[in-house]
Amino acid sequence: MKIPPLRIGDLTVPLPIIQGGMGVRVSLARLVAAVANEGGIGTIAAVGLGDIEASKLDFERACREAFIYEIRRAKGLTKGPIAVNILGVLSNARDLIETAVREGIKFIVSGASLPLRLPEMTEDPSVNLVPIISSGRAADIVLRTWDKRYRRTADAVILEGPLAGGHLGFSIEQLQEPERYALALLLPEVLAAVKPFEDKYGRKIPVIAAGGIYTGTDIARILEAGASGVQMATRFVCTPECEVAPEFKRAYLEAREEDIVIIRSPVGLPGRAIRNRFLRSLEAGAREKIKCPYHCLATCNVAEARYCIALALVNAYQGNMEKGLVFCGQNAYRCDRIISVHDLIAELKAEIEAY
């Protein structure tokens, strides 16, 4: 297959691969810039960037300043396109979106709840708004709401299937039968859901497929099925450019398929992670005393949460596996070596071209 470029709004990139946002602090400037330099789009995950101590004093400001730092650092490393991923459930989502726009970011990706009010947070028409959805129905709800309330549509849609990493847009029951919600089955319903809005607004709304895409052959197959591009995350963790601690990458390299599990996150959504010492201690009934001075997630029930997920994700980033939650996609067990972003993308390109 000839590698098709990806067009979103006014921008065209030669490689139809978006590196998915990975919180907390998994997709930082170096990784993002490396992917953008290879012709794809890199995504900074905005969640949990603020220094924990500084956040206790002024949460919004600590997050904003760390986010600005990361955006500027990425811009210093690439002239390519940088996206930001801002979870709708963040209590400071609006502040982060306004900050990203002020910093000249042109792609805002938002998920983890339907981003129904996203257009209200930036009126700049040059900023591309990209909702993450997990079904045709969800795509329809978001696009219909945006059309009615804001007279605009999405610039692209990310369809995230059940094999993705981090928080998932499926119930625990649905995740028990992932074949029923395979990307190849969900894609036609999402393509059908965006079609009326493509017709109404007279432009294409690219559908980007995500979740479990691992090889160039996977990419070629889903492009052939009608996706305009893919979003990949897990495969970018085991690269030197990813700035997590070596212990985090080792957890991926050593994971067996049966170590990859679904958890109930305090955020109120299921998530996928590697069963490590931390998860085993929770399974054995451990409960942490949580002091929450800033309430970073609107949906976190602090009174009932058994641990602070923000802290557990920061711990993993720092390599503290006793207390660290390692998010991953279903295919993390297939990662068997550290490979540079350049070599990984060369491999993926060769596989797409060989298809």
Ligand X SMILES: Cc1cc2nc3c(=O)[nH]c(=O)nc-3n(C[C@H](O)[C@H](O)[C@H](O)COP(=O)(O)O)c2cc1C
**Residue 28 or 194: which CB sits closer to ligand X?**
28
Contact range with ligand X by CB under 6 A, out of 95-103, 292-300, 322-330, 345-353: 322-330
CB of 291 to ligand X, least distance (A): 23
Considering only residues 13, 26, 33, 310, which one is a binding residue for ligand X as defined by CB under 6 A? 26
218 belongs to the binding site for ligand X (CB under 6 A):
no
If one counts every other C-beta atom within 10 angstroms of the C-beta of residue 199, the result is 9
Number of H helices, E strands in the chain: 12, 13
CB 137 within 8 A of CB 193: yes
Length of the chain: 355
Q: What string marks each residue from 220 to 249 as x (binds ligand X by CB under 6 A) or -?
A: -----------xxxx---------------
Nearest Cα neighbor of 153 from 136, 130, 170, 137 is: 130
315 belongs to the binding site for ligand X (CB under 6 A):
no
Q: What string marks each residue from 47 to 66 as x (binds ligand X by CB under 6 A) or -?
A: x-------------------
**Cα torsion angle, 152, 92, 23, 168, sign:** negative
CB 131 within 8 A of CB 118: yes
**Residue 153 or 234: which CB sits closer to ligand X?**
234
Q: 92 to 131, contacts with ligand X by CB under 6 A?
A: 111-112
Considering only residues 80, 162, 165, 216, which one is a binding residue for ligand X as defined by CB under 6 A? 165
Contact range with ligand X by CB under 6 A, out of 33-41, 62-70, 162-170, 285-293: 162-170
Considering only residues 13, 32, 87, 352, which one is a binding residue for ligand X as defined by CB under 6 A? 87
The tokens for 108 are 């805002």
Q: Which residues contact 208 (CB under 8 A, 6 or more apart)?
A: 6, 18, 130, 156, 157, 158, 159, 227, 228, 229, 230, 231
Give me the residues that bind ligand X (CB under 6 A), please. Answer: 20-23, 26, 45, 47, 85, 87, 111-112, 132, 160, 163-166, 210-213, 231-234, 327-329, 331
